[in-house]
Amino acid sequence: RDFCIELCAALSTCMMHLSRLSEEIILWCSWEFKFIELDDAFTTGSSIMPQKKNPDVTELIRGKTGRVYGDLNTLLVMMKGIPLAYDKDMQEDKEAIFDAVDTLELCLRTVTPMLATMTPLPANMRRAAAKGFINATDCADYLTKKGMPFRDAYKCTGTMVAACIAADKTLEELTLDEFKQYSDLFEEDVYHAIDLTTCCEGRTSYGGPTKASVLKQIELVKEKLQA
């Protein structure tokens, strides 16, 4: 029954990735993130809160992952203590393998149209990225390129980030005069240097976040799927 065990292991791995994706979707749908919005066909209303849309499909997929893991464990335990040749224990493979296949098939049939009808909210994503100060390193690099030792640029940028957090601001929202309070090296070009698009496009290593790199990875995945 190795072929059943190996198939169920592959199904479990696929369910694990679906579960991780589902967890992302659940987080991104929440009010704390609000990066995406699911179509009404894949959500349910709250029993007491009329404004709430529960991503039940993703929660069910996340839960069913444990079920497929259980099917794999059933097969492994079934085989662990039997001697060579066929034993009647092996008839217990049917329920586990059929259930694992059916569960994954159901999840894939559901998650595919859910993703196709999902609405991204890029403005919220952009705002969250700025609030995360992912451009702080680029700000420190900017000062370094202007001649400041990196250890000093690191400390300076850290002080700026702390002040921004206290004032509920982002680095991009600081005025040039506010920048110059920390260093006279800051000029108007700092806004281009710490722009989030500039930060992404500047990281050109393989698999990096540049638009060209992301599009290339998408093409590679499409080629694998077609093959």
CATH of the domain at 173: 1.10.40.30
Instruction: In whole angstroms, give the CA distance from residue 15 to residue 108.
Output: 9
In this predicted structure, what is the pLDDT of residue 182? 95
Same domain membership, residue 115 and residue 133: no
Cα(154)–Cα(171) distance, integer angstroms:
14
pLDDT of residue 83: 87
- Give domain status of residue 225, yes or no: no
Same domain, 47 and 28: yes
Whether 8 and 114 share a structural domain: yes
Give the CA diameter of the chain: 82
Domain that holds residue 110: 2-120
Q: What is the CATH number of the domain that holds 83?
A: 1.20.200.10
In tens digits, the chain (227 residues) has pLDDT values of 899 999 999 999 999 999 999 999 999 999 889 999 999 899 887 777 666 788 999 999 999 999 999 999 999 999 998 888 888 888 889 999 999 999 999 999 999 999 999 999 999 999 888 888 999 999 999 999 999 999 999 999 999 999 999 999 999 999 999 999 999 999 999 999 999 999 999 988 888 899 999 999 999 999 999 99
Do 156 and 180 share a domain, yes or no?
A: yes
**H-only helix segments in 31-174:** 56-79, 93-116, 122-131, 136-145, 150-167
222 lies in some domain: no
Is residue 199 in some structural domain?
no
198: closest CA among 135, 125, 128?
Answer: 135
Residue 53 gets the label, from left (phi > 0), alpha (psi -120 to 50) or beta, of beta
pLDDT confidence of residue 51: 67
148 neighbors 183 (Cβ within 8 angstroms): yes
Answer yes or no: do 7 and 85 share one domain. Answer: yes
In a domain, 148, yes or no: yes
One domain, residues 97 and 169: no
Residue 219 in domain: no
Sign of CA dihedral 89, 90, 93, 94: negative
CA 80/CA 82 separation, integer angstroms: 6
Residues 6+ apart with CB under 8 A from 96: 4, 8, 71, 72, 74, 75, 78
Assess if residue 226 is contained within a domain: no
Residues 107 and 179 reside in one and the same domain: no
Please tell me whether residues 160 and 114 are part of one structural domain: no
pLDDT value at residue 50: 64
Give the pLDDT confidence score for residue 45 in this predicted structure.
75
Q: Which of 62, 91, 120 is at the close of a domain?
A: 120
207 touches 217 (CB < 8 A) = yes
Say if residue 9 is in the same domain as residue 103. Answer: yes
Whether 161 contacts 137, CB under 8 Å: no
Calpha distance 198→215 (Å, rounded): 17
Rounded Cα distance, 5 and 7, in Å: 5
Number of domains in the chain: 2
Whether residue 27 is found in the same domain as residue 69 = yes
Considering the domain boundaries, does residue 220 fall inside one? no
